Structure 1
Amino acid sequence: MSILVNRDSRVITQGITGKTGQFHTRLCREYAYGQQCFVAGVNPKKPGEQIEGIPVYATVKEAKEATGATVSVIYVPPAFAAAAIDEAVEADLDLVICITEGIPVRDMLRTRYKMEGKKTLLIGPNCPGIVTPDEIKIGIMPGYIHKKGRIGVVSRSGTLTYEAVAQLMALDLGQSTCIGIGGDPINGLKHLDVMKLFNEDEETDAVLMVGEIGGTDEEDCARWVKDNMKKPVVGFIAGVAAPPGKRMGHAGAIIAGGKGTAQEKIAVMEECGIRVTRNPAEMGKLLKSVL
């Protein structure tokens, strides 16, 4: 069993008619069971068209009713992406994965408020997506670097998600599920939410957790791990050299009021029994050492 998605998932692409949506939907369809998993696209101005052989509908609700899809992936431009999430939530989908980067924080505040009490889970925005190796990939992660196995990966950093997987693969360690949760200040699933899923998954033996400066998500997760996790967890925090008060890259990575530094995160994680490497090249080796 994987977490969140598998070969039986049925996926809608919101923004399928754009260059990015079309390109990545094609790659996702070419991966493992993608041909049967990607069943619909949405564009309110182009219903009735076909992209890559996939029918396009005017709304998420229509696409869901026509195909039985329960998952959506969003490649809609930033100005309209929060509204696309809202539409998927209103259609009562199980899971929405928002790849779009640069959504205004105010828009996401409104969207998170609207999601309260709804069943829909959100991965992202500004994330690379999710892969259940040899079954399904949703998003922009390269499929060929993954292999079926028993290691869970959860990461706030897109690039380091790929790096972690590549290191595991070099040690012949496959993954149960790999999730990039995105680095925006207001997002969906946090490290803690994903860790709970991995803890309950019978086919995950250990978890590699990649975090970065800003916020307290990693610390919250570490404290939960200490009291509840039945499996070994190792970690890496990006941004040890980041100057306080400076936003790093595109992420919600900013140290504010002394909170959210890499040193603070590492200290809390180690106090909670999570082994942490300071060297991003050692993530795979560290994980292998706890098996």
Structure 2
Amino acid sequence: MIVRKETRVLVQGITGKQGTFWTEKMIGCGTQVIGGVNPKHAGTEHVGVPVFASARAAMEAAPFDLALMFIPPAAAKDAALDAIEAGAKTLVVLTEHIPLQDVLTMHAAAKAHGARIVGPNTAGIVTPGEGFAGIMPGHNPNIFQPGRVGVISRSGSLGTLVCLNLTRAGLGQSAFIGIGGDPVIGTSTREALEALDLDAGTDAVVIVGEIGGTMEEEAAEYARGMKKPVVAFIAGRSAPSGRTMGHAGAIVTGHRGTYNSKRSALEAAGVAVTDLPRDIAEAVASRL
């Protein structure tokens, strides 16, 4: 789930407005984009790379590791299955509002084929100095700079703000992992935390969480045994119970998934939890 210079990326939906814009940005900062998919434009070139009729056709002509999906909700399941069955190791699913049954089918197929899904409703993944896949501004040096702080975020906008503050503080990032804000996602906060804990280029980790679900509590269980310092911010402290706030997954039911339960679990595990995003960089610097 950490993109590298050698990661070969296929862009599904490459010829659309967003697919075109972000593919150009990815290529411009070193991402190895091997091609794209659009059945109507198969056999042509777009932004300097070949366009294929399917992920299977792309895999035969130009093998890839990661499939990045600029695909509308109704077509997301078929695109994901195409990439998974073609042999993609990772799918970065930007799409939101995918029908739940389709999401479950995608996850089942990924598990059966040994693939990892990041998302749905993710902003993507970034490794400054190596490349990115998604709609995070990985091409912007004011926001992303090579460093040794890993960032995990359910929110793309909050993740961007945190990375901006880390860069301004002279810390930079080893990797950014946007896990997505839907209720059912393929990569959890804990799984992303485990990956960054094992990453030799990461010295500290920032978790940008939010109310809803129990991912932060589960991540706290793992953080308890980490030697690397972990700093967290949880959005939604003032959100009313029972109301979805922002992401579809940011809804509190009963006493589970509340701001207080998440903060208490993280602090009990030795994680420093800040009141505001602007305090994260200082908290990280003081623990490195």
TM-score normalised to structure 1 length = 0.95
Deviations 1:243-281 (A, max 9, x none): 000001233110012210111100110011111011122
Shift of 1:112: 1.5
In structure 2, what is the equivalent of residue 248 of structure 1? 245
Counterpart residue identity of residue 12, structure 1: L
1:208 counterpart (206, 209, 218): 206
Whether contact under 8 Å (2:224, 2:270) holds in the other structure is yes
In structure 2, what is the equivalent of residue 288 of structure 1? 285
Whether contact under 8 Å (1:64, 1:70) holds in the other structure is no
> What's the C-alpha RMSD, in Å, of the aligned pairs?
1.2
In structure 2, what is the equivalent of residue 172 of structure 1? 170
1:219-230 correspondence to structure 2 within 5 Å: 219-227=217-225, 229-230=226-227
How far, CA to CA, are the matches of 2:248 and 2:173 in structure 1? 25
In structure 1, what is the equivalent of residue 6 of structure 2? 8
Deviations 1:165-217 (A, max 9, x none): 01101110011111111110111111111111111111110000110111001
Q: Secondary structure at the match of 1:259?
A: coil
1:245-284 correspondence to structure 2 within 5 Å: 245-284=242-281
1:20-39 correspondence to structure 2 within 5 Å: 20-31=18-29, 33-34=30-31, 37-39=32-34
How far, CA to CA, are the matches of 2:199 and 2:235 in structure 1? 27
Query: Which is further off, 100-109 or 14-23?
Result: 100-109
Structure 1 segments unaligned to the other structure (5+ residues) = none
Shift of 1:30: 1.3
In structure 2, what is the equivalent of residue 163 of structure 1? 161
How far, CA to CA, are the matches of 1:153 and 1:82 in structure 2? 28
How far, CA to CA, are the matches of 2:256 and 2:37 in structure 1? 41
1:104 counterpart (95, 99, 107): 99
Shift of 1:45: 2.5
Aligned length: 285
Whether contact under 8 Å (2:2, 2:126) holds in the other structure is no
In structure 1, what is the equivalent of residue 48 of structure 2? 53
Whether contact under 8 Å (2:2, 2:177) holds in the other structure is no
Counterpart residue identity of residue 189, structure 2: H
Q: Deviating runs (4+, > 4 A) in structure 1? A: none
In structure 2, what is the equivalent of residue 73 of structure 1? 68
1:183-198 correspondence to structure 2 within 5 Å: 183-198=181-196
TM-score normalised to structure 2 length = 0.96
Counterpart residue identity of residue 183, structure 1: G
1:107-126 correspondence to structure 2 within 5 Å: 107-126=102-121
How far, CA to CA, are the matches of 1:147 and 1:140 in structure 2? 16
Whether contact under 8 Å (2:9, 2:65) holds in the other structure is yes
In structure 1, what is the equivalent of residue 16 of structure 2? 18
How far, CA to CA, are the matches of 2:219 and 2:246 in structure 1? 24
How far, CA to CA, are the matches of 2:25 and 2:201 in structure 1? 26
How far, CA to CA, are the matches of 1:249 and 1:212 in structure 2? 10
Counterpart residue identity of residue 102, structure 1: H
Shift of 1:83: 2.1
